Structure 1
Amino acid sequence: MTASPPPAVIAFDLDGTLVDTAPDLLDTLDIVLDEVGAARLPREETRKMIGAGAKALVNRGLTAAGITVAPPEFEKLYESFLAHYAAHIADSSRPFPGLIEALDELSARGHVLAVCTNKLEYLSRLLLDRLELTDRFAVIAGADTFAVHKPDAGHLLGTIERAGGVPTRAIMVGDSLTDVLAAKNANVPSIVVPFGYTETPAEELGADVFIAHYGLLVETVERLLSRG
């Protein structure tokens, strides 16, 4: 008998892809800027700083505000950020429109869903728990789950492996260049969505497919999988 192929693994970025986390992340960044006596920055500016993890967000925010601190002070501010954010992680953060229906349909078709994010794993799980989304994903791999993180291929490949899949039957769904590069480095096709956090327009990031909304996700996934 011919063995059945492994299930397809659809790996999703979290911030700006699954969930609009900007309100709670940027509210927390405002608290950090208040702590150092800096003026709060415009949301249209700070929104583009999201995507490389909390530490990068704090660093980018301080830099944009013209604040330089010694490493020990930065670590204190970072820990303050994490504590406040964890306490307010789902105050305003919500899944993007159409996401739940798309996840339901992908699962119904037998695909395995996973999260591959540069958010710390414990924060990723906390957010998904609060939004009652955790059980939808076979794997939740954060920035600290493996020794490397996106755009390193090892992050995505490790996620796929833990989900019981193989790279030749996997897809990365994201909103930023980090996601696209991780997919390219892993030789996995990518889909990008336009409602996330990136200075470069999503359609110019170089993904295999750009979709305007989640109503197009399932058919796009099936089309990409059929190529393999």
Structure 2
Amino acid sequence: MIIIFDLDGTLFQTALCDIAAVNHLFDELAIEKVDDTAITYNIGKKTFEFLTNILPPHIKQQDVYDRFRELEQKEVRENGILFPGVIELLEELVSKGHTLIICSNGSSEYIELVLKKTGITKYFSNIYSAKEANNKGEVIRKILDNNSPAVVIGDTLSDIEAAAENNIPSIAAMYGYGNINELGAATYIIQNVTDIIGYVNRIEIFYAITDRSIRKGKKVIGINGVDTSGKTVFTKAYSKFLSSLKIKNTIIHIDDYHNPAELRCKGDNEIEAYYHNAFNYDQVIDEILGPLSELKSINKDVLCLNLDTNKYENFIHYNIDENTIVLIEGVLLFREPLLKYLDTTVFLHIDFDEVLRRMQVRDVPKYGEGFIKKYANKYIPVQRKYLEEYRPEQRSDIVINNQDYFNPRLGAYCEGKDDIYNNRK
């Protein structure tokens, strides 16, 4: 995968150099210094714009441009440093076979100086300056070739817009110098350098799923796994990824189609009752999947159960046309009568020890310690029964090891096959 990095505020702690350089410049000009936040706010912009934004109106940026460049380069040579963890990040990405590229608003001379000073030149296959182009989007358009999977990682709106212009996902580095209010347009947002690996792994997986299902004309993707395996989070993240590629999509949560409590608990054996009666699969088929398979589109409200009140009072609106990808996620999903409506099946693997650990974090604060016993005595036995009877992991088209949520792995449980696909059995 091609990973396109911004430099300032993403890999390099530019503020340490630019604040010092600006202060030296203002001392030489004998003018009142500006606040550090005004300097950091403008980091990432081209030098002319940077200087115009921080200089008082009576001083023209063209008059001090060369001197600022000298001061900035001096600071880079003497004091320039990376954000903590950057070298380890780059080493891991390269070791996994990714192609790393720099695309910065700085000049080629400046980029090369920073890379040389920090010792990271060797990690990048190419560097690009957007200085002579209209914007970063134009440069990235030239970088991409033959729809190669790619992602842009940066800390300013120009990075996010460049990715959007080229229909690829973006990762916003909130630890950088960009405007927080502008970075919400990014596909994903991270708080630390160490978060990048996990998101790159997910994006790589999302490209693989897309290439091997949607690109082959498949429209309905089922995402399954045991409780707490990360289905909902994974599905939402995949939905954002598809939107970044300008692929229209919608999500169906099977949890929205629970049966009322009296039906879920009907009979003497609560495990069998939940196993057979937890969800109203017929409603999902009659209201959504069936009409879609025949009419290719729906635009309607569906009345669903409110689990907290045990009343049918939740209206969910679906507007799905023939170009919409449907992502349906939930437990106990890959079995009839639903299975025949799923074009692609994706299974998230975690073991039951990890289920209990995640449940402790997710559910105990809300439901209390007694919920652990309920999991052990009811929900885990239900899901063991499902795994044994339907073997969803072995029969799924795509399997993802989600045991380590921050480091998902593709195809780890495909019975030794290198390809992520298994024939359904």
TM surpasses 0.5: yes
Match of 1:18 among 8, 11, 15: 11
Q: CA contact under 8 A between 1:168 and 1:188: conserved in structure 2? A: no
Give the deviation of 1:88 after TM superposition: 2.3
Instruction: Output the CA distance in 2 between the equivalents of 1:44 and 1:19.
Output: 17
Structure 2, unpaired ranges of 5+: 208-425
Deviates more, 1:45-54 or 1:112-121: 45-54
**In the alignment, is the contact (CA less than 8 A) between 1:24 and 1:91 conserved in 2?**
no
TM-score by length of 2: 0.46
Contact 1:156–1:182 (CA under 8 A) maintained in structure 2 = yes
Q: What amino acid is the match of 2:50?
A: L
Match of 1:205, SS state, is: helix
Identity of aligned residues (%): 27
Q: What is the Cα deviation at residue 127 of structure 1? A: 1.0
Alignment-mate amino acid for residue 191 of structure 2: A
Aligned twin of 2:133: 147
Moved more, 182-191 or 36-45: 36-45
Give yes or no for contact 1:180–1:205 (8 Å, CA) kept in 2: no
Asked if the contact 1:24/1:88 (under 8 Å) is kept, the reply is yes
Residue among 137, 161, 173 paired with 2:124: 137
- What one-letter code is carried by the residue in structure 1 that aligns with 2:57? I
CA contact (8 A) 1:115 1:140 kept: yes
Does 1 or 2 have the higher relative contact order (CA < 8 Å, sep 6+)? 1
Q: Are positions 1:117 and 2:97 aligned together?
A: no
Q: Cα 1:199–1:20, aligned 2, differ >3 Å: closer, same or farther?
A: same
**CA displacement 1:82-110 (0-9 Å, x = unmatched):** 12222221433211122111111111110
Alignment partner, residue 5 of structure 1: none
SS of the residue 1:195 aligns to? coil
Deviation at 1:54, TM superposition (A): 1.9
Taking structure 1 as reference, are residues 205 and 92 closer, same or farther at Cα in structure 2, changes over 3 Å only?
A: farther
- Determine if contact 2:8/2:44 at 8 Å carries over to the other structure: yes
2:169 to 171, 189, 192: 189
- Higher alpha-carbon Rg: 2
2:36 and 2:147 map into 1 onto residues whose CA distance is: 37
Q: 1:209 aligns with which of 170, 184, 188?
A: 188
The residue aligned with 1:58 is: 51
SS, match of residue 102 in structure 1: helix
Question: Do the aligned partners of residues 98 and 174 (structure 1) sit closer, same or farther apart at CA in structure 2, a change above 3 Å counting?
Answer: same
Deviation, structure 1 residue 190: 0.4
1:83 aligns with 2:62: no
1:40–1:98: structure 2 CA closer, same or farther, 3 Å change rule?
same
Aligned to 1:107: 94
Quote the residue 1:43 is aligned against: 36
> Is the Cα contact below 8 Å between 1:143 and 1:149 reproduced in 2?
yes
| Alpha-carbon contact 2:160-2:185 (below 8 Å) kept | yes
1:67 aligns with 2:57: yes
Deviations 1:154-210 (A, max 9, x none): 11222x34xxx55440100001111100110111110011111123257x4311111
1:12/1:126 CA distance change after superposition, 3 Å: same
Number of the residue aligned with 2:361: none
Farther off after superposition, 40-49 or 105-114:
40-49
CA contact (8 A) 1:113 1:137 kept: yes
Matched residues in 2 for 1:127 and 1:49: separation? 18
Cα distance 1:112–1:47, how it changes in 2: closer, same or farther (>3 A)? same
Question: Equivalents in 1 of 2:184, 2:158: separation in Å?
Answer: 9
1:167/1:187 contact within 8 Å kept: no
Which letter maps to 1:38?
A: I
1:68 CA drift (Å): 2.2
Cα contact 2:80–2:117 (8 A) shared by 1: no
**Letter aligned with residue 192 of structure 1:** A
Query: Greater strand share, 1 or 2?
Result: 2
